[in-house]
Structure 1
Amino acid sequence: MDLSSQCRYRNGPRPVRTLSGVRLPPPGGSVKRIIPLGSSLTALLLTLGLGATHTGTANAAPPPEPASASAPAASAGLLDALQRDLGLTPARAEERLRAEKAATAVEKTARRTAGGSYGGSWFDPASERIVVALTDPAKEDRVRALGADTRVVRHSAAALDRAKARLDTLTAPEGVAGWHVDPRRNSVVVTVVRAERDTPAVRAFVAKARTNGPVTVAEAATAPRTYAAGTVGGDPYYTGNVRCSIGFSVHGGFVTAGHCGPAGAAVRGWDGSAMGTFQGSSFPGNDYAYVSIHSGWWTVPVVLGWGAIPDRLVRGSAEAPVGASICRSGSTTKWHCGTVLGKNETVNYSQGAVHQMTKTSVCAQGGDSGGSFISGDQAQGVTSGGWGNCSTGGQTWFQPVNEILGRYGLTLHTA
């Protein structure tokens, strides 16, 4: 929520803005720019709830230009990854991409031609052609004429999908890693953890699954887990339709800005998965919050350098003096540095005053709220608000991290 108001200093007006959050568009909707009130006045105070930023038409990035016909099949980065992970030469990687593009186009037409006899399809790396499964051999010639290879199977894709949907209504034991439709096997594949395959619960689930349709059992070495990763300073998180940034990992969660969400609010991680809950939040008066994290996430004593520098390990929270260099990591403007300009400052946002803030010459923008301020390897605080931007410059304030740790009885996660 971008917040705006006026702030007039004793020596005259001074523009300031708080970095609140970035609002996300509803599904299928568009993002609208929220125009700050009193924008004609020079003393403009915007909450830098650099949690979620309000983006709009005027400031939106232009749409990508269509690729020209002569453009390469893929970026150098993608080609490098194909060579590294699939063991392809540069020439074979480009050929593979062209073949996959052609196969995708053929598959769409072949699916329509197959109609109800369509049994699924897959790309064959050896022939570099699409293979279409059919329950009706009479359709083979028509599908082959489109440029596809064919295979006659017993079950249609629709029948397999129905069988899989019936499995989705069952409760599976932990020894079952998952299930999916495999067109190459013309079956629903139930994957079980190898060490759990013969347990009564797994055997009962497989037996029940086989009553719902064609089932093949596969094995996995271990059970699946999420790759949500750790709570890393500067990374984004989401509360409702607002994006903010993680400040610092603490044992049990992370600290961030209070204006990013109230106590009890649910938090989603960078990948959209459930991440945690605001256990405490204070704003105005203060601008800090503590988020506890769910299983599948873990804390990491790291602040992102976003490629500008190597990621920084956090080794403590010794307070840097005025004049010291300091850097900030946030999910919108990434990594920026400056100096400490003042301490124990009261900042009067439109929602009310926030006390004991530290002022810096570091820039920030919407969506950076809550992000990390660090000096060397020492945690300093979480981004609150400021004025200006990272194109023309500005100043920001942060809530000192030691105050947050003391308020909630937290322990900073250090390396």
Structure 2
Amino acid sequence: MVGRHAARSRRAALTALGALVLTTLPAAAAAAPPPVPGAQPGAARTVGAGQAPAQMLRAMQRDLNLTPGQATARLVNEAEAGTRAGMLRNALGDRFAGAWVSGATAAELTVATTDAADTAAIRAQGAEAAVVERGLGELRAVKEKLDAAAVRTRTPETPVWYVDVKANRVMVQATSERAASAFVKAAGIAGQGVGVRVSPDRPRVLADLVGGDAYYIDGQARCSIGFSVTKDDQQGFATAGHCGTPGATTTGFNEADQGTFEASTFPVKDMAWVGVNADWAATPDVQAEGGEKVQVAGSVEALVGASVCRSGSTTGWHCGTVQQHDTSVSYPQGTVGGLTETTVCAEPGDSGGPFVAGAQAQGTTSGGSGDCTNGGTTFYQPINPLLSDFGLTLKTTSASAGTPAPQDNAAADAWAAGRVYEAGATVSHAGLRYRCLQNHQAQGVWSPESTPALWQRV
């Protein structure tokens, strides 16, 4: 277990991965290209986790009840775990059933597999192995049936459903067992191990009509700016789709004209972007506490169990942890899929605001339940699908001038800055082949040979 070893042992396991990860896998794994031996990925350095801003570390200490040393160690451990999990995901193929981190400093990485023969290879990577019944692909197929059923029979009594990788099953949150049973039956998945969590919570989107900071839509509803983005020569920002429809105008916190919603999707997804006028400039900044700012360096997706912090115009800067990805939420306005559930609190007006993990952009606030007095649950729209769907480039500290706009993921085999890559995707670069380890938008300085935390030579 990683949590029982010193940091030096964990680094040694990372260095040895290329030589060890496939040595004990069964013959069925032969189709998966073996990792190439090489230097330790150095994920913390690559994604900036080792240089976290003081504002983030202070908020993590407050909201996650950590010491200063634990907060710093947690970000480094989470970054390294993401790379190790990506390598094992590629090696295990269809047998991969999910990964998550745990412990106060996220020092314990667990990787689930459907084949006990993979245990030695997983442990050689410094992770704990969980042998389970269903692969991640099978679980997602079950959840997709719930998504389809929600289109036909959406009900407020079953507002949330998701893949729970830790429990190796699909979960339905409902106001009663009866409501959950009816939903499962309508989806045709009775007897497929779907779990039920009974809760009175009914998530709602977090826009409101109260004046304050951030930006206003058509002079009335208030939401929060997410991340600065660019498209060709147009600057703007990503935000929540439920905040405005295409063509809606926005004004800024200073009541000055700001921009126009260029594209918006809600429900199904909860994403939008606003193009701004020449009075506003895109920056990699995110508001933290006391008027201070943190900056984003990229959009590498955090694992389940990882720490995340959120900024919003109503409640400011708060932190928590990722509970699960690929969550579907039935709001009163319709169902939204592909969200990430967190323990971070939020309130009306925080919608559209940014979630960050270390120096990496994660997503924009969608909705939730509870508040920042008593605690609650908040969902965010992951940033990478938003960037890909709308053809946007995230404004970051690491993006070099002239970074090209994103391209169609299927349009070319060659690696390109600005394109959004999902774990498992393969590219060619400088005459070599690489496989993606973690979901992210490629930055101009993140070419595959220079970012072993994100790309594995095949």
TM-score range, shorter chain: 0.3 to 0.5
Higher helix share: 2
Q: Return the index of the structure with the highest Cα Rg.
A: 1
| TM, length-normalised to structure 1 | 0.47
Higher strand share: 1
